Structure 1
Amino acid sequence: MSKSKVDNIWTKLSILLLNIFVVSAGATAATVPLMIKSFPSVDPTTVELTMTVSSLGIILFTPLSNLVADKIGIKKDILLGLIIILVSGVIPALTNNFPLIFASRIGIGVGTGLLASYSQSLIIALYQGKEQQQLLGWSSVVQGLGMFLMTFFAGLLLTNGWHQAYWVNAIALPVLLMFAAFIPHTLKIEQAGNVDDVDVKGSKKVDGKIWALAIFIFFFNTTFAFVSIKFASLVIEQGYGNAQSASTLLGIMSFAMAAGGFIFMAMPQAWKRFSLTISIAAGLIGFFIFTVSKSLVLSGVGVVLVGIAVSMTMVSTMSCVGMFTSPAQVPFSTSVVMTTANVGTLLAPYTAQLLAKIFHDSSSHFTFVCGTIIFALLLIFVLVIGFNYEKLMYQAKK
């Protein structure tokens, strides 16, 4: 792709907007109580599963997206993903058939899986230096604000019935049209000046450094997800709030995620090697606050710190993928890291349950104590990365 095409503001915006769909499946979570009433013959747990079953499609199709792109091209792969998200996303607005609705939610995951890794790897591959870091930061901002706005408008549409809330997924249409108009069909993963270093045959090879990052992000996502599944229970358990107040605090997290993107962009280049250290330290402090807090205000500070940690950790991890491996390996390596991240999120309830059984303590407070310990261990890991950053960087063969 020519440099003029890469530098086009509409090209950059089209790529950035893909990040909205990486986390958008849960934007209609508020419809679940009304859906349970609409489907009395369906087990409530199965109805609740419609909000998380998309992870299955994401896990399966994120690694497969690279194989699809090899066959039909990157642009067509992403357009296919957007079309599937659009069609699957609005199906619940048009039908009262629960099996079809359930299948459509899996479809959301399939579409997301086809484009998720490219929302990051295109930035890593097409841009370099400070511009790359800024765009990675903006991707986190777009993701956080996009999730907030989709959730907000889904809530507004919900006043007209739960079916209407699903029209929020129609946002995929303008993004689809923009991507079709401003991204060339010749889109390829290459970096200027590095073309001779690209080993196409080794593009599906995953280095040990990337597997280490994948394991790290698995444990990070599993631990972070404790907030989604246990925070409301913690607030009630500790007696300083109710489910509604906990929900309000969690809503603030979307803004905190956007703030994390801005912090990453504003960070001096010399500090970027320790960006993971800074983000994990923020998460560690946030989780520690949850273990000692007796007020909504203090817990709110913890929520903000964890929100910042989430966005900074994801964008810093993807930046490391770009720095630690060859240009040809970036797409598949990115998909591996994103897949393990989604597996971590999906397994979070079972991780919390396993910890409760092992230590014979099922309280929400204990879950966050365990989370604090895990974050402390992750902090040691990212400190090692920070102090050995130059050694870990990809070196082209002479």
Structure 2
Amino acid sequence: MAKVISKFHSWLIIIALLSLNIVEQAASVINATIPGMAKSFPNETLVNIELVTTVVSIFVTIFVLISGVIVKWIGQKRTAILGLVIASASSIIPAIVNNFTAILVSRAILGIGIGLANPLAISLIGVFFYGDQRAKLMGWRSAIAGIGTAAMTFVAGQLLVFSWHAAYWVYLLFIPTLVLFIFVVPDPEKSGALQRQEAEQEKEMAKAAKQGNEVKKNPIGLIILLTLLTFFTLIAMMVVAVKLPTYFVQAHIGTPTDASNVWSAVNLATVVGGFLFGPIYKKLGKYVLPLGLLSAGICVVIVPFASSLWLVYTVSIIDGIAGSLIIPYIFNRISEVSSAKKAPLFTSIALVGSNLGAFMAPYAGELLGMGTNAGLAIMNAGIINIILAIVSLAVIFMLRKATVAKRI
């Protein structure tokens, strides 16, 4: 039988789970240390120095999948704690050593820790929370991750005044999350939370079936479709991020700094969108997905035709809000249809799609822009989102029609 959790304890669990999402995105908060490191290690190429950031992503992608296997051996809470311990210990090594190889290895190990914990930041929300509250928290996770990452970047920047080594002490902020997981988050396998999750899922699926939205549990086909959707969504999103500075220069809209400011506005807008996801999902349900894709796509298509910087700001902010509805929907949907045992693995698969999409964005941008046309690349990225919106809406209607026909 599931243990009753008090309201205060529930809020502590929410804080722990949301703070774990900050860990997920924390690799880039020390990017400003690269120039200082380049001076300290003059025998290393700039490409090697920049690996300090990118090597983390490589190992995150690998160990996101391995996380699902480890969960089967030691459980979800212990896997999250293991990942946090590895991340906490490895992340501060650059603060105390002056050997480049050791620093690079420590960053790879940080990727291992983040990769192990990353899927649990999402799947554990589905374990402890249900229905509208789960949807709300799925939106909150992206918003809090954005705020937390921005805060860590700011703190790292202040520490950078002392030295580039000092900036790495910012990762001590991982420790409170680790403490919360050890002492606050219940063990899903021992507390009865998994059994309660299964019972709540049965209720949700029965309710969905009555509304003509019947879906089988652990539908591998749906998981593959959601993973592909995540992959193409991240490609479209990151192509805009990569090509925006070049487009500003080519089209004489503004400077690369202006492009950076626009993208900062987009990131702030995603925070707003993250908090809005829960209420919007409650009103629109699955139609949130095509709405987010279509709105984001139209906004991105407008960018290359904008004649003023302020119009670019306006459509980019709308794009940020609309785009931040897509990923929370995907992971909320995975939590809805996955059993307690399968959820970490399915979440891991979708996260691999996300990481691969971000990794492939520079190459996709070149293809979409037919070489060097940044404006064309951005427009085609928007068209990808519009196509995904049409396809997703068609799938929704087809599934609804098939369910109604089966009931008749």
TM-score between both structures, scaled by the size of structure 1: 0.89
Cα distance, 1:272 vs structure 2: 2.0
Letter matched to residue 5 of structure 2:
S
| Matching residue of 2:194 | 190
- Give the match's secondary structure for 1:52: helix
| Matching residue of 1:367 | 377
Partners of 2:306 and 2:278 lie apart in 1 by: 31
- What runs of 5+ residues in structure 2 fail to find an aligned partner? 203-216, 404-408
Structure 1 residues 248 and 133, CA, compared in 2 at 3 Å: closer, same or farther?
same
| Matching residue of 1:291 | 304
Identity of aligned residues (%): 29
The residue correspondences of 1:11-26 to structure 2 (distance < 5 A) are 11-26=13-28
- Give the match's secondary structure for 1:3: coil
Partners of 1:270 and 1:197 lie apart in 2 by: 20
Does 82-91 or 346-355 show the bigger shift? 346-355
Partners of 1:24 and 1:311 lie apart in 2 by: 19
Structure 1 residues 240 and 77, CA, compared in 2 at 3 Å: closer, same or farther?
same
| Matching residue of 1:319 | 332
Q: Which one of the candidate residues 367, 372, 379 is aligned to 2:389?
A: 379
Alignment of 1:97 onto 2:113: no
Alignment of 1:330 onto 2:334: no
- Give the match's secondary structure for 1:334: helix
Structure 1 residues 24 and 389, CA, compared in 2 at 3 Å: closer, same or farther?
farther
Letter matched to residue 162 of structure 1:
W
| Matching residue of 2:294 | 281
Partners of 1:335 and 1:222 lie apart in 2 by: 18
Does 335-344 or 185-194 show the bigger shift? 185-194
Alignment of 1:259 onto 2:272: yes
- Conserved? CA contact 1:273–1:389, under 8 Å: no
Alignment of 1:224 onto 2:226: no
Letter matched to residue 159 of structure 1:
V
Structure 1 residues 73 and 13, CA, compared in 2 at 3 Å: closer, same or farther?
same
Partners of 1:252 and 1:153 lie apart in 2 by: 20
Structure 1 residues 315 and 197, CA, compared in 2 at 3 Å: closer, same or farther?
closer
Letter matched to residue 390 of structure 2:
I
| Matching residue of 1:79 | 81
| Matching residue of 1:308 | 321
| Matching residue of 1:201 | none
Cα distance, 1:336 vs structure 2: 0.6
Partners of 2:241 and 2:191 lie apart in 1 by: 37
Structure 1 residues 309 and 74, CA, compared in 2 at 3 Å: closer, same or farther?
same
Structure 1 residues 16 and 32, CA, compared in 2 at 3 Å: closer, same or farther?
same
- Give the match's secondary structure for 1:190: helix
Partners of 2:39 and 2:162 lie apart in 1 by: 15
Does 74-83 or 87-96 show the bigger shift? 87-96
- What runs of 5+ residues in structure 1 fail to find an aligned partner? 199-203, 394-398
In the TM superposition, what whole-angstrom CA distance separates every residue of 1:156-202 from its partner, at most 9, and x where no partner exists? 2222222222222211011111111101343676252735999xxxx
Does 185-194 or 215-224 show the bigger shift? 185-194
| Matching residue of 1:65 | 67
Alignment of 1:141 onto 2:143: yes
In the TM superposition, what whole-angstrom CA distance separates every residue of 1:332-383 from its partner, at most 9, and x where no partner exists? 1111101111111112112223445xx3x31221221221221121111221
TM-score between both structures, scaled by the size of structure 2: 0.87
Does 384-393 or 100-109 show the bigger shift? 384-393
- Give the match's secondary structure for 2:324: helix
